[in-house]
Structure 1
Amino acid sequence: MAITGAFAPTGTRPVRWYNYAAYGSMDVLGAGSMAVISGWVLIFYTTFCGLEAWQAGLIFTVARVLDAIASPVIGHISDNMGYTALGQKFGRRRFFILAAIPLLPIFAAMWVAGQTFWYYLVTYVCFELLYAMVIIPYETLAAEMGKDYRTKAKFAGIRILFAQASAIIAGFGPKMLIEWLGEDSADTFLYMGILFSALFMITAACLFLLSWERPPSEVAALRSGEAKPSVAAAIKALYRNLFSTLRIRAFRLHLGMYLGGYISQDVFNAAFTFFVVFALAGSISVASSLLGTMYIVQFVAVMLAINLALRIGPAFAYRLAAASFAIGVIVLLVMWNAGVRSGDALLWVPIAFAGLGRGALNFIPWATYNYMADVDEIVTGRRREGAFAGVMTFVRKLTQSAAVQGVTAIMSLGGFVAGAKQQSPEAITTLALVLGVGTIGMLIFGVIVSFKFKLDPRTHGVLMDEIDRFKSDPDAPTTPETKAIVEDLSGWRHEQLWGRNPVAQVGMTQPH
């Protein structure tokens, strides 16, 4: 008989298509909001709100830094929420998703034109904190609901497909609204904010209703020997516990690939709309068309990447994706230098190459992320999905804020003038350099890291078999091949695994 309700032992409850769909749809918030923000918030602030480029970048940076500080705290709290009555009733992860639903319209409030710097700072900070409150628990649910490699890969795939679908809306949305409201109407962005706020609330409700977690008894078994942490003990152990995740080799390499693929897109996104408007002599409507088309190609690329990563492994697929994105950027800049401008059909060539690479780069890191808690389990004997999600978000937000602040600061130093209809040749050249050097430099970094990343379907299967062996008989002998694989993935000697190392003791409290 199928197990129903908020909890089910991992692997015992079948994952139906609607469970996959509900999980994936939540990335309308995760990626959809970021697509809207990364594509449009800087130009909205500088064109319709009277802010200078450095002020827009400062808002972005302050919000992301505060979010980065809060994210590990949320991850730690969600790991320990099972000790509370609310966590036992609604789930230690799902409780946060339920609580966030009535607060999500704050996203629409970000897009009201004509307000002060402080208004935009406060609304953006509030949304970023709310975003973390939802996304960090959400990112753990694939590991909670599925055990085997393919199930987790399907969760990652459907998530990124929904992400790309929402990005298509974010790309084409301004163009459709401009046709209705006019090129110079700030309400374009307000209506887009209202649309996405409604989508966020619907998808959050679906996820809460159609997801589940490990039962409290299973989590307790993995954390046997630990007592319920006091507030003081939890705060003291928090950052030691979270940053101990960086002592897991596969996770360090995963972070390198993740940051290489995503920061390259951050730099590209921050500069691209400005580049289209000022370097290619286009408009917001043209930029919307190009971004929307790129996101459509990304959607197709995700479907290709799902099969490609399973067949040839995530690391090699990552390198192919990075090469495609880099080709797109190089061709775009070569065309601009040769005199190609807005409206030329040749512009669709670099857009297609960039979209193919970006779609796969979006999928692959999240596909591999779902297995990081498995590698950690063989090291610590515990499940710390929330800690990994917290560190992922912490590092991502800090580096993303640095990337965007860097782009806006360089734009200002290069002579960019907010609100101007045209920019100087020096400012345009600066935009081109940022777009090219920043994007391709981060792609090269990610590719270098990928050559060391060895987690794939085969090695993950060996890892899971070894975890099962440790659970049944920790002292039983293992094969040399298995030993080599788990040592490479974990970064620890085999005799130190399964709790026999300092990482396993970090963040633990003694029983009363």
Structure 2
Amino acid sequence: MATDPIAARPILPTAPTRPVRWYTLLTYGANDVMGAGSMAVISTWILIFYTSFCGLSAAQATIIFGVARVLDAFTSPLIGHVSDNIGRTWLGRRFGRRRFFILAAIPLLPSFAIMWVAGQSFWYYLVTYVLFEMVYAMEIIPYETLASEMATDYRTKAKFAGARILCGQCSAIAAAFLPAWLIGWLGPDSPDTYLYMGIIFSVLFMLAAGLLYTFSWERQRPPELAAAEERDRPTLGAAFAALYRNLFSTLRIRAFRLHLGMYLGGYISQDIYNAAFTYFVIFALAGSTAIVGQLVGVTYIVQLVAVVIAINFALRLSPAAAYRFATLSFAIGVLIFLGMYMAGYTATSALFWLPVVFAGLGRGALNYIPWATYNYMADVDEIVTGRRREGAFAGVMTFVRKMSQAAAVILVGQVMQASGFVSKASVQSPTAIAAIVGVLGLGTIAMLVFGALVSTRFRLTPATHAVLLDEIERLRAGGTRPATPDTGRIVEDLSGWRYDQLWGRNPVAAR
């Protein structure tokens, strides 16, 4: 077995992977019923539920999100780190270092339903929300590593991302239409609408997680690597020290930094839009929660179509170019909404389906592209460090996702509170309505512009990814120079490091 003279680590061949079947893609994608589904429900309905049925002020609602995010700043990267290292233990060897967490989370997923019990205290909603966020991190972070565990090539990883987003969009459609159906059954003033919605989604979460565990697998690690990990098992103190060292070291990978910028631009813009949209329709456009469900539901249907288009675009051309087209479409939709509001249209106007289509096309692509490119980040990291750290990247992604959503909800809630928004009121003041409109328009478009600017520097494509994998194999075989000067420039651009610093010859690789 060859040895890396710089990093003094054994160089192990890439383990063969199992064939990916249609049902593998389906069961993998179905788990995003929890990922996208729960986030769609929370971003669309949680503020309305807290302020209209629970007696909480907008400020109290944002405190709940803030506390949960502080706790999550610790738990998300911790779970990512533990999932990277639990393979050394009996549990990891028996159930899988990623899949163990998915299995353990299944009986805890009904925690989503108990969030939606009306008439409780502030502390009840704080504790139940925090509890679900912990369970969410426990299941989703290991899930986000599985595509890289089960596949190595660009196209298969793109198919995993596509299956995930397509299934996630279907769950988001249900998150929009289900409350509208329940409102029609229970009446517009019944808080049980949200409780039944929580119960239905909890059952779906458990079913999806069970199928994922059954039909997924993890890449077989060579016996030499498993033995080396067992010898090098860190102490508890060393594990905690490595946790945040690995967390911040992911930001030293150039492609990942740019990826995060695009991710934040695309997702925070949607989080701001989602948090403000319900209030925008109800108070600025004289609509209702039933109309909100219809508009949001149609948006998600259009997003489903947009994901199919984006999958083909990203596979054949450039994810960054597809991303810029998506930001433009979403921004056009928002601008049309604002223009129609200023012209005096109400939510019952048939013309409101036009901005819904533009916004949905943009949002669908923005949902898919960051997760498609995420699946290749561990490959870029591998050429820098000589290691596979999917768990560390998954921890950062989940942490950033939750923080971005909380920031959007906190922004909307605090602006509404400062503008004089009154909980449980059927009519709001002109100042409060102007604040809602301003957040929806300026906040959403500002983040779209930020993401589009970052995307101009992101150059990971099918062609450059193929070059990256070839160079990884060259370095694994003991090579020290790129195949061609162009190859070297491509790898350096993706990694952010000089070629002679790759494969462990840099501070990022330090354990």
Q: What TM-score, normalized by structure 2, do the two folds share?
A: 0.96
Alpha-carbon separation, structure 1, partners of 2:88 and 2:137: 21
* Correspondence 1:201 to 2:206: yes
> Which of 76, 80, 90 is the aligned partner of 2:81?
76
> Which of 378, 387, 394 is the aligned partner of 1:382?
387
Specify the SS of the correspondent of 1:204: helix
Per the alignment, residue 303 of structure 2 pairs with 298
Specify the SS of the correspondent of 2:345: coil
Aligned residue identity for 1:230? T
> Which of 171, 175, 188 is the aligned partner of 1:166?
171
Aligned residue identity for 2:402? K
> Which of 159, 162, 172 is the aligned partner of 1:157?
162
Alpha-carbon separation, structure 1, partners of 2:326 and 2:482: 40
* Correspondence 1:182 to 2:187: yes
Residues 86 and 95, structure 1, Cα contact 8 Å, conserved in 2: yes
* Correspondence 1:212 to 2:217: yes
Cα deviation for residue 225 of structure 1 reads 11
Alpha-carbon separation, structure 2, partners of 1:287 and 1:443: 23
Task: Deviation per CA, 1:85-136: give whole Å up to 9, x if none.
Answer: 0000100000000000011001000000110000000000000000000000
Per the alignment, residue 90 of structure 2 pairs with 85
Specify the SS of the correspondent of 1:342: coil
Per the alignment, residue 235 of structure 2 pairs with 230
Aligned residue identity for 2:143? Y
Residues 88 and 229, structure 2, Cα contact 8 Å, conserved in 1: no
Specify the SS of the correspondent of 1:105: helix
Per the alignment, residue 5 of structure 1 pairs with none
* Correspondence 1:396 to 2:408: no
Alpha-carbon separation, structure 2, partners of 1:226 and 1:133: 27
* Correspondence 1:339 to 2:305: no
Per the alignment, residue 421 of structure 2 pairs with 416
Identify if the C-alpha distance between structure 1 residues 366 and 223 changes in structure 2 by more than 3 Å, giving closer, same or farther. Answer: farther
Cα deviation for residue 466 of structure 1 reads 0.5
Residues 65 and 401, structure 1, Cα contact 8 Å, conserved in 2: no
Identify if the C-alpha distance between structure 1 residues 218 and 13 changes in structure 2 by more than 3 Å, giving closer, same or farther. Answer: farther
> Which of 131, 148, 152 is the aligned partner of 2:153?
148
Cα deviation for residue 407 of structure 1 reads 1.2
Per the alignment, residue 475 of structure 1 pairs with 480
Cα deviation for residue 396 of structure 1 reads 2.5
* Correspondence 1:500 to 2:505: yes
Per the alignment, residue 263 of structure 2 pairs with 258
* Correspondence 1:249 to 2:265: no
Structure 1 range deviating more: 394-403 or 312-321: 394-403
Residues 82 and 216, structure 1, Cα contact 8 Å, conserved in 2: no
* Correspondence 1:313 to 2:313: no
Specify the SS of the correspondent of 2:222: helix
Alpha-carbon separation, structure 2, partners of 1:425 and 1:476: 66
Identify if the C-alpha distance between structure 1 residues 398 and 477 changes in structure 2 by more than 3 Å, giving closer, same or farther. Answer: closer
Per the alignment, residue 4 of structure 2 pairs with none
Task: Deviation per CA, 1:456-501: give whole Å up to 9, x if none.
Answer: 0000000001101111232355210110000000000000001111
Alpha-carbon separation, structure 2, partners of 1:365 and 1:243: 20
Cα deviation for residue 339 of structure 1 reads 0.6
Residues 320 and 357, structure 1, Cα contact 8 Å, conserved in 2: yes
Alpha-carbon separation, structure 2, partners of 1:173 and 1:11: 43
Task: Deviation per CA, 1:54-74: give whole Å up to 9, x if none.
Answer: 111111221122123210000
Cα deviation for residue 218 of structure 1 reads 6.6
Identify if the C-alpha distance between structure 1 residues 53 and 16 changes in structure 2 by more than 3 Å, giving closer, same or farther. Answer: same
Residues 137 and 386, structure 1, Cα contact 8 Å, conserved in 2: yes
Matches within 5 A, 1:319-334: 319-334=324-339
Task: Deviation per CA, 1:287-345: give whole Å up to 9, x if none.
Answer: 01001010101111101100011222100000000000000000001001001102100
Alpha-carbon separation, structure 2, partners of 1:100 and 1:274: 34
Aligned residue identity for 2:257? R
Cα deviation for residue 238 of structure 1 reads 1.2
Identify if the C-alpha distance between structure 1 residues 103 and 148 changes in structure 2 by more than 3 Å, giving closer, same or farther. Answer: same
* Correspondence 1:102 to 2:107: yes
> Which of 45, 48, 54 is the aligned partner of 2:50?
45
Per the alignment, residue 30 of structure 2 pairs with 25
Residues 249 and 490, structure 1, Cα contact 8 Å, conserved in 2: yes
Count matched residues. 498
Residues 329 and 361, structure 2, Cα contact 8 Å, conserved in 1: yes
> Which of 191, 210, 217 is the aligned partner of 2:196?
191
> Which of 35, 39, 44 is the aligned partner of 1:34?
39
Per the alignment, residue 136 of structure 2 pairs with 131
Per the alignment, residue 485 of structure 1 pairs with 490
Q: What TM-score, normalized by structure 1, do the two folds share?
A: 0.95
Aligned residue identity for 1:395? V
Identify if the C-alpha distance between structure 1 residues 438 and 231 changes in structure 2 by more than 3 Å, giving closer, same or farther. Answer: same
Structure 1 stretches of at least 4 aligned residues deviating more than 6 Å after TM superposition = 221-226
Aligned residue identity for 1:78? S
Residues 82 and 88, structure 1, Cα contact 8 Å, conserved in 2: yes
Alpha-carbon separation, structure 2, partners of 1:76 and 1:154: 26
Measured on the aligned residues, the alpha-carbon RMSD in Å equals 1.4
Task: Deviation per CA, 1:438-472: give whole Å up to 9, x if none.
Answer: 00000000000000000000000000011011112
Identify if the C-alpha distance between structure 1 residues 427 and 476 changes in structure 2 by more than 3 Å, giving closer, same or farther. Answer: closer
Per the alignment, residue 358 of structure 1 pairs with 363
